[in-house]
Structure 1
Amino acid sequence: MTRSAEPTEDRAARARRLVGYNYRMPDYYEVGREKVREYAISVQNDHPAHYDEVAARALGHPTLIAPLTFVSVIGAIAQRFLLEQIITGFDLSQILQTDQRLIFHRPIRAGDRLSVDVSLESFRQSAGTDIFVTKNVVTDKDGEPVVTTLTTLVGRAGNDADPQRIERIKDVMMREV
């Protein structure tokens, strides 16, 4: 995504106006059994409840449970939606996550159909940066909360993207496969 030609002040004013609005992601995320297993392997979490349904049931769960950090898969989709579709004009390559608070209401389970409501909780500018706090409320098919996340993102204000910096971080950024 390229930097917006829109002046920084206009993007910032628009972001401030969007504080407090909630947006439902246009589709749900269905948690697959094999995705739970693959994710557990990728984060080197060897707890049996992530791999074996008998082990998960022994702990009181109807099916495999995902590692706690599995919510990051859904969170990345939600953040991208918010920053590309709602709060437009910011260069994702210039944004860094600096803080996150996770509130777990129940474990994410294989077979869950999860919806996400995203919102911009706050926006401010300080020392040449844009500081966003976003909120994702992840709910199941019955509308019951599963996980709530509050994430602080910091980005550079203005159209002063440093091309050398972008090249240095280019291969570090998470990419869709």
Structure 2
Amino acid sequence: MVGFGYRMPDHYEVGREKVREFATAVQNTHPAHYDETAAHALGHPALVAPPTFVAVIGLIAQRFLLEQIVTGFDLSQILQTDQRLIFHRPMYAGDRLTVDVCLASFRHTGGIDIFVTETDVTDDTGAPVVTTLTTFVGRTGDADPDRLRRIRDVMMRGAAPGPHP
């Protein structure tokens, strides 16, 4: 499967209000994310999406990969361990983005699978916007209930042992 790639079947249109909502959610208060006049004053053609906005698009593409292509993983048992973002230009409100995803590498070691995806986001002219290289670690098959309980304990109680509702 290494080298397998696909294009998401539809483009993603960056919405003006989505840019504002995302900026608020990540507590990025820069005026260029909220006010078109401020964005224009900085030389941008529209509201500028925060750099991490690519996660919105990436989530859609990665989910498709994990549910339709690299199957057999319990999505709750996959951990993103690394990500490299290469920005070619900012994302703007009104951009119509196309997403191409490729399984860049895959290896099985010590009972776990480690794989890297490369995601290329381009605008409607085909010009690159952002490229991401994301590393995931996961296990196929059924999850160990005891391990899940220990993980939940750490996540929900800050490592406090014991039962949870």
Secondary structure at the aligned position of 1:111 is classed as: coil
1:64 correspondence with 2:73: no
- How far off its partner does 1:95 sit? 0.4
How do residues 4-153 of structure 1 correspond to structure 2 at under 5 angstroms? 18-153=1-136
Q: Which 5+ residue runs of structure 2 have no aligned equivalent?
A: 157-165
- How far off its partner does 1:160 sit? 4.6
Selected match of 1:161 from 136, 143, 153: 143
1:37-65 deviation per Cα after TM superposition (whole angstroms, max 9, x unaligned): 00000000000000000110111111000
Does the Cα contact within 8 Å between 1:134 and 1:152 map onto a contact in 2?
yes
The 2-side partners of 1:166 and 1:70 are apart by 30
Aligned residue pairs, count: 153
The 1-side partners of 2:12 and 2:148 are apart by 31
Cα RMSD after superposing both structures:
1.6
1:95-152 deviation per Cα after TM superposition (whole angstroms, max 9, x unaligned): 0000000000000100011110001000001111100000100011111110000000
TM-score (norm: length of structure 2): 0.88
The 2-side partners of 1:115 and 1:165 are apart by 38
Does the Cα contact within 8 Å between 1:93 and 1:166 map onto a contact in 2?
no
User: Which stretches of structure 1, 4 residues or longer, exceed 2 Å deviation after superposition?
Assistant: 163-169
Paired residue type of 2:50: P
Q: Which 5+ residue runs of structure 1 have no aligned equivalent?
A: 1-17, 173-177
